[in-house]
Chains A and B, each alone.
Chain A
Amino acid sequence: MIRLRGAAVVLVLAAASIAIVDGSGQVLLKNVFIEQYRNLVTITTDFKVDDAHPHPNPIGTSSQDGDLHMAGRSADVGLPMVAELSNGRLTAVASVEKAIHQASGTGTAVHLSGVWRLWMEHKSAEPMQQGDAVPVPSNTNPKHVFEIHPVTAFSGTAVLETFVPLRDDQDPSKHYQATDAPTAFPRYEKETLTVSRGATFTSIDGAQVPYNYTEFVLEVAGQPATVADGVFVLAKILDLQKHVLVSSPRRMVIVKGSRPATLIGAAAAGQQFHVLGIPRINLDALMRAVQPNKTGTVSGAYEMIILAVIE
């Protein structure tokens, strides 16, 4: 009888055109948060560093990306989260790394700025609701979908010099090998997010997506738009041999004051740049695709955070 009832409920739901949303692993964001950040590049918050890696990752392939990982909590974000200092093997950021380690585990919040990044890479099997109590992370990489990555300023010290190709100043012979664009972008494009917009919260769910750092060529498609903390520009995506991989323009996210902002921020349509980037969910595209109080599935709702222009 329970099965019958379940089937009836499922049918009614289906008949009412309500998408059947698998509740596992979804993230529920506050609508006010989404509205605040959907068209901003970065977030600035007070962040308690609960745990930090003793050293940045080495430079190599895949996760050997030179990032310095830290896990922590922020009342503004209200989600399990991590922050990552990109290009942590640059000598120029050694003092910031020291500051991170000094702050780690003290329980004292530090002022942290960086690019907000929502991405289904380390999602939990359980739903995460913004504002729920966040447990103290037991390591530097707890289950999370929200990151501040890359960090742009830690405790008042800007680290915009990290927006260059990844390298190890201790061993300049090492070069980072990012995921190649023809591998990464089809996977990003394939990702379908289920979005359900409620009165207070919006739930977002999708499959776990691999491939962080990706090297590709962007071709500026239209005029860049400057916002308070950076630049957004729509661009086609090409592989390194200049073959078009994604012809529908995708949004590029560029941090104000960074080297990519200098180069791409004033570019004209048609200009191409060889770049290194990481994807994040495009909250603006999601909100545009699904009306309030509706549920829908959206594909191609990602944007690329530009970390470096490879000149």
Chain B
Amino acid sequence: MLVLLDIVIGVAFVYLLLALICTTANEWIAGARGLRAKTLQRGIGQLLGPLADEFYRHPLIATLSQPGERPSYIPAHIFSSAVLDLLGRHAEGAASAQHVRTGIAALKAKQTGPSADHAAHAAALEDWFTTAMDRVSGWYKRRLQLITIGVAVVVTLAVNADTLQIVGVLWRSPTERAAIAEQVRSGLLPPRPVAAQYPDVNVPVPPVNEQTSAEDEGVEGPTAAAPAVLGQIVGWSSDFKRLNQGVCATLQDERDRQCADAANAAPCQQALRRIATESRCSVEGADLVATDAAPGGAFFTSALVPVAAAHTFGWLLTIIAISLGAAFWFDTLNRVVNIRGSGPSPQEKKAAGA
């Protein structure tokens, strides 16, 4: 049971780290593409119709963003003030403002009955805006979700995060399991309290310069260790070895062929030189053994097909998982760690002791 929990912790930990990478990338992409501002602009366009361009030029709105840019957030009261001001400038019945006037009239009639009161206009506008922004928020989330999936695909393939492979590594390797479980525990659970102590009972008021801290003893921050642990269970190393095997087999064949005949001294030397400079293979006795160096051109060969096929399902699981987001995996990890932290049941203890 504990092994299974540790595997779940390990997998969730990897998902969390990858989801955090996705989140950061998402934010960067959304910021660089002005996604929030563009989505808001689309929403404002739907709300105000022909008045939208004039609305964005209004000083109350134009000052919400850098010159030449559109704001990514507009407070409801600023929206209503700007729109009311614009309506005041447009004569009753003007075509450009008719769209908005109709909307306000409908809302006011529903909420407070017909009235020309300025406050009622503002309230109706703010209500209209807030409702529309809920919809805009939905658009934004959907577009971000698409980006998330795209980023998740890139991240998953870049680090070769195959869920099935991760589970396999964690299942086979108790040390990897323990390392990850420890990482998670030290990262998520509060530090164990230090017991207040006076080492010398005859010195209740110790000199200040002799004070020591138990906090510093044997504490290793997990910051540097987290990527290291991650590197042990995801990555391309084993697949690169597999892809490089073809390169090594070719080189070995060439060497064997050229060097079999003493008359081919020059081509043999050439083949040996090529082997000596080839980082993808190492010489072990008479054989060439593939290393985990980047395969370079050998990556995009037919040898990739079986490798990719073996990973496809695992990658798909990872992509779906990390698309769920960092918050989801953080909560999940917390729950599982808490269950794990409660330790074995009395029955398990008894069985282990028997």
Binding site for B on A (CB under 8 A): 1, 3-8, 10-11, 14-17, 19-20, 35, 39, 192, 221-225, 227, 232-234, 248-249, 251, 269, 282, 284-291, 294, 296-302
Cβ-defined contact, A7 with B215, below 8 A: no
Stretch in B57-65, B123-131, B156-164, B191-199 touching the partner: B191-199
Cβ-defined contact, A249 with B198, below 8 A: yes
* B24 at the binding interface (Cβ < 8 Å): yes
Binding site for A on B (CB under 8 A): 16, 20, 23-24, 27, 144, 186-188, 190-198, 200-206, 208, 211-216, 219, 221-223, 226, 325-327, 330-331
Cβ-defined contact, B216 with A14, below 8 A: no
Cβ-defined contact, B191 with A225, below 8 A: no
* Cβ-neighbour of A225 out of B203, B219, B226 (below 8 A): B203
Cβ-defined contact, A6 with B213, below 8 A: no
Tell me the bound Cα distance from A285 to B199 in angstroms: 11
Residues of chain B contacted by A4 (CB below 8 angstroms): 23, 325-327
* Cβ-neighbour of B196 out of A6, A20, A289 (below 8 A): A289
Cβ-defined contact, B194 with A16, below 8 A: no
* Cβ-neighbour of A251 out of B190, B204, B212 (below 8 A): B204
Tell me the bound Cα distance from A294 to B219 in angstroms: 12
- Find the residue from A35, A251, A269, A289 having the highest chain B CB count within 10 A: A289
Tell me the bound Cα distance from A7 to B196 in angstroms: 32
* Cβ-neighbour of B215 out of A20, A234, A290 (below 8 A): A290
Which of chain A's residues has its CB closest to B17's CB? A11
Q: A15-B226, A288-B196, A294-B215 are in contact. Are A1 and B205 (CB under 8 A)?
A: no
Residues of chain A contacted by B331 (CB below 8 angstroms): 7
Cβ-defined contact, B191 with A251, below 8 A: no
Cβ-defined contact, B212 with A297, below 8 A: no
Q: Describe A's contact surface by its main secondary structure.
A: mixed
Which of chain A's residues has its CB closest to B215's CB? A296
Cβ-defined contact, A290 with B198, below 8 A: no
7 A-B residue pairs with CB within 8 Å: A5-B23, A14-B187, A234-B202, A234-B204, A248-B195, A289-B197, A302-B196
Tell me the bound Cα distance from A247 to B216 in angstroms: 25
* Cβ-neighbour of A17 out of B212, B213, B222 (below 8 A): B222
Residues of chain B contacted by A222 (CB below 8 angstroms): 200-204
Residues of chain A contacted by B187 (CB below 8 angstroms): 11, 14-15
Tell me the bound Cα distance from A287 to B209 in angstroms: 12
Q: Which 5 pairs of residues, A with B, have the shortest CB-CB distance?
A: A222-B201, A285-B196, A291-B213, A222-B202, A301-B196
Q: A17-B219, A290-B215, A298-B194 are in contact. Are A8 and B204 (CB under 8 A)?
A: no
Tell me the bound Cα distance from A282 to B319 in angstroms: 52
Cβ-defined contact, B191 with A8, below 8 A: no
* Cβ-neighbour of B198 out of A5, A7, A227, A251 (below 8 A): A251
Cβ-defined contact, A282 with B196, below 8 A: yes
Residues of chain B contacted by A192 (CB below 8 angstroms): 193
Tell me the bound Cα distance from A298 to B215 in angstroms: 10
- Name 20 extra pairs, CB < 8 A, besides A7-B326, A298-B193, A299-B195: A11-B326, A15-B187, A15-B226, A16-B223, A17-B191, A222-B204, A225-B204, A225-B205, A248-B195, A285-B197, A287-B211, A291-B213, A294-B213, A294-B216, A296-B213, A296-B215, A297-B192, A298-B196, A300-B196, A300-B197
CB distance from B319 to the nearest CB of A (A): 17
Which of chain A's residues has its CB closest to B194's CB? A289
Tell me the bound Cα distance from A4 to B215 in angstroms: 31
Cβ-defined contact, A299 with B205, below 8 A: no
Tell me the bound Cα distance from A73 to B334 in angstroms: 44
Residues of chain B contacted by A10 (CB below 8 angstroms): 330
CB distance from A141 to the nearest CB of B (A): 28
* Cβ-neighbour of A269 out of B195, B201, B214, B330 (below 8 A): B201
- Find the residue from B192, B197, B223 having the highest chain A CB count within 10 A: B197
CB distance from B14 to the nearest CB of A (A): 13
